[in-house]
Structure 1
Amino acid sequence: MRQLVYVVDDDQGMLESTLWLLESVGLTGVPFTNGRDFLEACDPRAHACVLLDVRMPGMGGLNVQEAMRARGIELPVIFVSGHADVPIVVRAFKAGAVDFIEKPYNEQLLLDSVQQALEQRPRSGRHDPRLAEVQTRLKQLTPRERDVLLPLVRGYTNREVAEQLAISVKTVDLYRSRVMKRMQAETLPELVGMVIAAGLVDPLALRAGS
């Protein structure tokens, strides 16, 4: 079955470069410059995933994701955004996003994420070795590192974490960098996804932010 990647981004330059990247590895990209056109045209039965920009005029990516759920469109969603603050990431994962990648993105990182999303549908229910790796890394964290990890992925700032744990902000910064390194997470959105996947926090109990 042909594999499709729906690419929804109002930035024409970014849209074209993403399509070129997908085609360079044999994937078929289907471009849209706004969410409404995508919702009307996409095939929910296709072997496909969706690359969805967060910030677009009119209907933003998070609203497109909500509309997909309302219409019963269960295609895996990967968010791409130049503004990956924690409240946005939390909302995306709460609603079922499979990944959240920051612009400008690393090309191989994006392709790996797309491939994993495309494999997700036919492989649902199978053991995922990536999850076992994440759980192994979590077990290697010290108690204090876990103390810092949990409020961070729930959306609290470094200063708020410092107040909760009665330590300095500088100490939180140190533990945060150690946690990122131990978990092999390049970005905070990646770390949030790992912890949710491992079942360490409930995605519906994360701090939504303002």
Structure 2
Amino acid sequence: MNDAQEQVVYVVDDDQGMLDSTVWLLESVGLRAMPFTSGRDFLEACDANGNACVLLDVRMPGMGGLQVQEALGARGLDLPVIFVSGHADVPIVVRAFKAGAVDFIEKPYNQQLLLDSVQQALSRDERRAADGERASLQERLDSLTQRERDVLLPLVQGFTTKEIARQLDISIKTVDLYRSRVMKRMQAERLADLVGMAIAARLVDPLRLRG
């Protein structure tokens, strides 16, 4: 699995010379480029969990770019796709955009234009990943019972189990039970993880937490 912070560009082009020059260009600005000369090889290797986008040639032997794009969708791999082609006739461009392509660049391409398009696609993918994480976090918060929420807040604010028990007028053993449930429901391995989630969800102000 790719590191979430690493920006990866999959480059799929059957023209080895074009493939090599595109990889060199991307790596020259610090991006990780993964080259493929066939759509099938790319589909077998791609990982939609990282921050990535795809530079995809339209016309390739075997499986063309539009077919690769369709296969990505069918497999639930939601990666931003930028088409690069020497054959940018209108019907192909329309099909590509209708299927969700983020850009369509003609060969021979302007290097800066290509880099700008790639950076926009990666930024969009990063935002989408962040949105997904926020939605997942909110779902976990929504799954908590009211009493679990009552324990969560003072817990992430830095209060001890004994102090929480006193605040809520329940036993220390009961607080420990709820704490365990909260950790499990929130999928937090450590208290620090739980604090980070609470800050991300804006339940607490990090400047107001107890040291």
Is TM-score (shorter-chain normalized) higher than 0.5? yes
Among residues 10, 34, 50, which one is paired with 1:30 in the alignment? Answer: 34
* Structure 2: distance between partners of 1:119 and 1:20: 21
Aligned to 2:52: 48
Does 2:81 match 1:77?
yes
Aligned to 1:59: 63
Aligned to 2:95: 91
* Structure 1: distance between partners of 2:51 and 2:43: 16
Give the residue type in structure 2 aligned to 1:109.
L
* Structure 2: distance between partners of 1:27 and 1:85: 30
CA contact (8 A) 2:39 2:68 kept: yes
Identity %: 79
Aligned residue for 1:73, secondary structure, equals coil
CA separation of 1:47 and 1:124: change in aligned 2, threshold 3 A? closer
Aligned to 2:108: 104
Aligned residue for 2:11, secondary structure, equals strand
Aligned residue for 1:29, secondary structure, equals strand
Aligned residue for 2:127, secondary structure, equals coil
* Structure 2: distance between partners of 1:123 and 1:50: 17
Give the residue type in structure 1 aligned to 2:87.
H
* Structure 2: distance between partners of 1:95 and 1:81: 16
Among residues 111, 117, 134, which one is paired with 1:113 in the alignment? Answer: 117
* Structure 1: distance between partners of 2:102 and 2:21: 22
Shift of 1:125: 11
Aligned residue for 2:10, secondary structure, equals strand
Aligned residue for 1:59, secondary structure, equals coil
* Structure 1: distance between partners of 2:61 and 2:126: 34
Give the residue type in structure 2 aligned to 1:67.
A
Aligned to 1:129: none
Superposition map of 1:125-144 within 5 A: none
Structure with greater Cα Rg = 2
Gaps of 5+ in 2: 131-211
Shift of 1:101: 0.1
Shift of 1:9: 0.2
Give the residue type in structure 2 aligned to 1:18.
T
Detail structure 1 runs of 4+ shifted over 6 Å in the superposition: none
Q: Deviations over 1:121-150 (max 9, x none)?
A: 222499xxxxxxxxxxxxxxxxxxxxxxxx
* Structure 1: distance between partners of 2:46 and 2:118: 17
Gaps of 5+ in 1: 127-210
Give the residue type in structure 1 aligned to 2:102.
V
* Structure 1: distance between partners of 2:125 and 2:118: 12
